[in-house]
Amino acid sequence: MASVFEIGKFGAQVISVPAEKKRDKASSPPLPPKPVLIVSPTVAGVYPVAVFLHGFMLQNQYYTQILKHIASHGFIVVAPQLYTFISTQSTEDVEYAVSVANWLPDGLQPQLPDGVEHDLTKLTLAGHSRGGHAAFAVALGLAKTPLKVKFSTLIGVDPVAGKSKSSQTPPKILTYEPSSFNLDIPVLVLGTGLGDEKPNMLMCKCAPKGVNHEEFYYECKPPCYHVVLKDYGHLDMLDDDAPKIARYVCKNGKNSKDDMRRSTAGLIVAFLEAYVEDEKDDLEAILEDPQLAPAVLDPVRRHIERERERGGEGSAMASVFEIGKFSVEVIVVTAKEKGDEAASSLPPKPVLILSPTNAGVYPVAVFLHGFLLQNRYYTQLLKHVASHGFIVVAPQLYTCILANSTEDVESAAAVANWLPDGLRPLLPRGVEPDLTKLALAGHSRGGHAAFAVALGLAKTPLEVKFSTLIGVDPVAGTSKSSQTPPKILTYEPSSFDLDIPVLVLGTGLGDEKKNILFPACAPKGVNHEEFYYECKPPCYHIVMKEYGHLDMLDDNAPKIIAKCPCKNGKNCRDIMRRTTGGLAVAFLKAYFEGEDGYLQAILEDPQQAPTVLDPVSRREAKNEMDSL
């Protein structure tokens, strides 16, 4: 998956083409209206095309290394030199970019290596700095010159729309309203962590807040992506032999510039593969594990339009089992490093945040992953929950296989205590967390940790109050005699000292062995049955009869993790995720929003769920059980 960050399999040729002179209108083949740098694969074939617009006061040739990287993965890149004078008006950038784009159908093919052909049905527009602004302006149709080609994707590389909100570069494109760009194509916005910092007292910020990548992403409609190269500056992707003055006008990172170029180019390649070639594996892998990149990526966000609901005109109660009405953004946040006081707002552990993008106030759920698992393996499940109007925070409690289970509990408490001060700044604009409605949930060993935290067994005092608890096939050890510390099971009914509603979800195959090599993943005596037995009312117990302990993980979770150690169901895993997500949503709606119709309907008619629920039990009053 990291191959996009390396040079690709195609040799790349750099071709310089001069501009057509005003007095020579009949050149054959037709020359471009502006000088262009073409970087093309040399192997015969048909390739998508990307137009790349340079930044303010820069030359197209300064980007040669990054453009060669892109071309080596099977893309033809055309980089016009929009102007040579500092005083050139930014509106002229837009007109020149359109005139070059209109030249492509007749003029590009004769300039390419033998056997290489362009595919202008797969045409991308990209730009850096002021060139990023120009690219967006062209895509928004703000050029006076009519476009004769159609762009199918758009990329902004640390785009800048002026000096400040009150001094935007014409044509003005920023409205400071969410999703206001009238674009119907996928967009990738790359930013730099140091772009909005001054290099010294004499220079201004090269990419100031209010007119930089953050605002561009905020105004994009889905599908759109926002990735920030945290440790680098606005010009750090330029070639090593670019004039040194480029290193003085903007704040620079201290790490390898080659890592910056490889990361920038690799992200562009992964995005183009996903939306031009329909090969999304590389992009998905990077979004789920940003550490694949040579540079630190933080934050990593995506805004994907919700999937079409599959429920049709069926029961209104079944809607919790379908994707909800809110678009969801996935935000990857790194952990605070010891001794780094400047990063005081970062969480004590890496977290995955899944948030509605619509402005509003939403309840929050903390979700703890299972044994040997990554928080990102639950992305599809957690997106389902978030799409119904909940903010989900999923910490990565540990990465070491030998991590002690008591550390899970302490780490979970530490992340919970971080929420009041740390969560809000990381959420999409206009989204507010309501920590008076705070749920704690966990799967497998994470379910045990969630119960331990709720029972007050963490040494770290809790500074927040959880108001609901969910265990997703929780496991408290390998047997009654070998409980995971801290021990919480007493084998006495209603012995958990909890005064909050609890939902315990179980799996029908969790207590069965996969084969003779592996023990049961959720053995009797320490699994969901005992957790429910020890809960006080109100509590609920629902078992997904035909599924196994790991069947709610993402489809792209490693097979050695998701398939090998635990017995799996034979039915579609999407059904398992929809059921698990829907039951969690129904429970949270009942106790956070007073909408208990969904939960009651499922309890009374379990067949509304996509899979078999058996048994379905509830205790709503002390010593009363209603097993349906």
pLDDT per position as a tens digit, 120-165: 999 999 999 999 999 999 999 999 999 999 999 999 999 999 999 9
118 is catalytic: no
**pLDDT computed for residue 312 by the predictor:** 35
**pLDDT computed for residue 342 by the predictor:** 53
Do residues 79 and 67 lie in contact, with contact meaning Cβ atoms separated by under 8 Å? yes
Residue 476 structure tokens? 């408290």
Q: State yes or no: pLDDT of 507 exceeds 50.
A: yes
Q: State yes or no: pLDDT of 623 exceeds 50.
A: no
pLDDT per position as a tens digit, 272-294: 999 999 999 999 899 888 989 99
Q: In what helix (H) or strand (E) does residue 270 lie, and over which residues does it extend?
A: helix 257-276
**34 vs 126: CA distance, rounded Å:** 17
Residue 187 structure tokens? 């967009």
**pLDDT computed for residue 199 by the predictor:** 86
Mean of the per-residue pLDDT values of the chain: 91
pLDDT per position as a tens digit, 230-263: 999 999 999 999 988 767 889 999 888 999 999 9
Q: State yes or no: pLDDT of 505 exceeds 60.
A: yes
DSSP state of 515: B
**pLDDT computed for residue 313 by the predictor:** 33
Q: What does the pLDDT average to over 106-124? A: 97
Q: State yes or no: pLDDT of 317 exceeds 70.
A: no
**pLDDT computed for residue 86 by the predictor:** 62
Residue 253 structure tokens? 């990172």
Length of the chain: 628
Q: Where are the alpha helices (DSSP H) in 423-483?
A: 445-454
**pLDDT computed for residue 403 by the predictor:** 58
Q: State yes or no: pLDDT of 622 exceeds 80.
A: no
pLDDT per position as a tens digit, 332-341: 999 987 666 5
Q: State yes or no: pLDDT of 89 exceeds 90.
A: no
Cβ neighbour number for residue 598 with a 10 Å cutoff: 25
473 is catalytic: yes
Domains of the chain by range and CATH?
Answer: 2-303 (3.40.50.1820), 310-336+345-627 (3.40.50.1820)
Q: What does the pLDDT average to over 219-233? A: 94
Q: State yes or no: pLDDT of 306 exceeds 50.
A: no
**578 vs 610: CA distance, rounded Å:** 7
**pLDDT computed for residue 88 by the predictor:** 60
Q: State yes or no: pLDDT of 321 exceeds 70.
A: yes
Determine which one of 259, 384, 549, 554 is catalytic: 549
The separation between the first and the last C-alpha atoms of the chain, rounded to the nearest angstrom, is 47
**pLDDT computed for residue 557 by the predictor:** 86
Do residues 269 and 8 lie in contact, with contact meaning Cβ atoms separated by under 8 Å? yes
**pLDDT computed for residue 26 by the predictor:** 62
Do residues 569 and 551 lie in contact, with contact meaning Cβ atoms separated by under 8 Å? yes
Determine which one of 73, 444, 511, 551 is catalytic: 444
**Top-confidence residue, 176 or 341:** 176
**pLDDT computed for residue 628 by the predictor:** 41
Residue 613, C-beta contacts closer than 8 angstroms, at least 6 positions apart: 542, 543, 544, 545, 579, 602, 606
Torsion sign across C-alpha atoms 398, 401, 405, 406: negative
Where does the pLDDT of residue 572 fall: very low under 50, low under 70, confident under 90, or very high at 90 and above? confident
**pLDDT computed for residue 101 by the predictor:** 98
Which amino acid would we find at residue 284? E
3-state secondary structure of 625: strand
Which amino acid would we find at residue 9? K
Determine which one of 158, 282, 473, 551 is catalytic: 473
Hunting for tokens 């004078």 — which residue is that? 85
**pLDDT computed for residue 169 by the predictor:** 92
Three-class DSSP labels, 16-79: EECCCCCCCCCCCCCCCCCCEEEEEECCCEEEEEEEEECCCCCCHHHHHHHHHHHHCCCCEEEE
444 is catalytic: yes
Q: State yes or no: pLDDT of 458 exceeds 70.
A: yes
Q: What does the pLDDT average to over 437-463? A: 97
Q: What does the pLDDT average to over 45-57? A: 96
Beta-ladder partners of 200: none
Query: For the chain, what percent of residues have pLDDT higher than 90?
Result: 78
**pLDDT computed for residue 562 by the predictor:** 67
